[in-house]
Structure 1
Amino acid sequence: MLQELFSPSVQHWLDLAGIFVFAISGALLAVRKNFDVFGMAVLAEITALGGGTFRDLVIGAIPPAAFTDLGYFLTPLAATALVFFLHPQVERIQSAVNVFDAAGLGLFCVAGTTKAYDYGLGLTMSMVMGLATAVGGGVLRDIVANEVPSLVRWDRDLYAVPAVVGAGIVALCIHYEALTGVTTGLAILTAFVLRLLAMRYHWRAPRAWHRRSAAVEAATEETP
């Protein structure tokens, strides 16, 4: 469906841009975890391509796009090389990297939703695949790096919610036959802006109602 809205070359370059910024986040985490260059490359590839590969396997787009386009494979390696030689400089522009990462989130949640719908999934499951496309690589990155995925940590700024909103806008537009270049751009922009606002104001999802902290619970148990 996106192919009907954007030319193949534009869509391809948008994909590569999103892959590149996601790969940078993976390579930077590898540096912080003291991985070697091979570990950096693995984490960059997983972060950049994991979500899209999972989506393609679920919807039956075999082989996944990550294995049919050499550019998809080489782009994370280019990001790895950049971080390997210039990681102090890249760390210093982390805020700029976060902006591009937010843009990639918006692009991938929309692209994932439309591709899943094109392959016959219903609107709700297409939204789920849009979310998986946007955040799946980050979840795999954290698991491989032996960290609790940021997606499920309460002390992380909203990440999944902007993707869900972007995917939801696309699903509604498909339902009402209103998906155009303008509405697609609006969905991408909405997810992008929500993610930026979440980072700026540290918006977080609520935890369980009337939840007590572990420290409070431990102190209560020790009281005679």
Structure 2
Amino acid sequence: MTELLFWLDIFGTVVFALSGALMAGRFKLDPFGVIVLAAVTAIGGGTIRDIILDAPVFWLANSYYLWVICLTALLTILFIRRPKRIPTRFLLIADAFGLALFAVVGTEKALSLGAPIPAAVVLGTITGVAGGMIRDVLCNVIPLILRQEIYATAAMLGSSLFALLSWYGQDHTLTLIAAILTTLLLRLAAIYWRVSLPAFHIRDKDNDS
């Protein structure tokens, strides 16, 4: 079981680092900028989670996360020469995989450290969305979590499903897979069909005709 979580965490690190590197390519950052953006995307959410839980920060305890991030960033630079030619949807899909994996793995870690279910769901959601939020802020882009798109909602629902199934004593492996797939499919469906939440909008009286 520990081995499965390890590989899910590594895969999530790779896809989030990839999404950060691709974003850096779109904004023509230098190699150092690519690595920085890949790193904050991949480890930002988990770092905040571990600090809140007063747990050892995962990438300080295990330096292989940093090696995975650097390798992913460098391979992206070497093999993807024209990031602007990559469809925006590819970046969103890579981000969706990272969101699903990190939201559920983050919830699992919070529960394993004794966090109550509501707190674990919040911490899982933070794990999934905070890295991408930092990435977007650094690129001067409105973060996905603050737009109309179903993003944090998908992470929260997946985290809630994992927490509830765990509470009811369901098989841990199946619970992990079900929660990850639920989050991923919700996010992919929102991307494909452009499903979004209604926007909050205050009309300016001076501009009313």
Pairing 1:127–2:115 present: no
Pairing 1:146–2:121 present: no
Q: Which residue of 1 aligns with 2:39?
A: 45
SS at match of 2:80: helix
> Within 2, Cα distance between the matches of 1:143 and 1:95?
19
| Equivalent of residue 168 in structure 2, options 158, 176, 185 | 176
After superposing the two structures, state which structure 1 stretch, 185-194 or 96-105, moved more.
96-105
After superposing the two structures, state which structure 1 stretch, 19-28 or 87-96, moved more.
87-96
Task: Note the C-alpha offset of 1:68.
Answer: 1.6
Q: Is the 8 A contact 1:54 1:133 kept in 2?
A: yes
> Within 1, Cα distance between the matches of 2:156 and 2:61?
28
> Within 2, Cα distance between the matches of 1:153 and 1:44?
22
Q: Which residue of 2 aligns with 1:3?
A: none
Residues 58-69 of structure 1 mapped to structure 2, 5 A cutoff: 58-62=52-56, 64-69=57-62
Q: Which residue of 2 aligns with 1:189?
A: 181
User: If the length of structure 2 is used for normalisation, what is the TM-score?
Assistant: 0.90
Q: Is the 8 A contact 1:127 1:171 kept in 2?
A: yes
Task: Note the C-alpha offset of 1:184.
Answer: 2.0
Q: Give me the identity figure in percent.
A: 34
How has the CA–CA distance of structure 1 residues 171 and 79 changed in structure 2, closer, same or farther, with 3 Å as cutoff?
same
After superposing the two structures, state which structure 1 stretch, 178-187 or 20-29, moved more.
178-187
* Large movers: runs of 4+ above 4 Å: 93-98
SS at match of 2:169: coil
> Within 2, Cα distance between the matches of 1:29 and 1:96?
11
Pairing 1:84–2:84 present: no
Task: Note the C-alpha offset of 1:185.
Answer: 1.2
How has the CA–CA distance of structure 1 residues 150 and 113 changed in structure 2, closer, same or farther, with 3 Å as cutoff?
same
Residues 59-105 of structure 1: CA distance to partner in whole angstroms, max 9, x if unpaired? 0112x111121220011111211222233466537655544432322
Greater C-alpha Rg: 1
| Residue-pair matches, total | 208
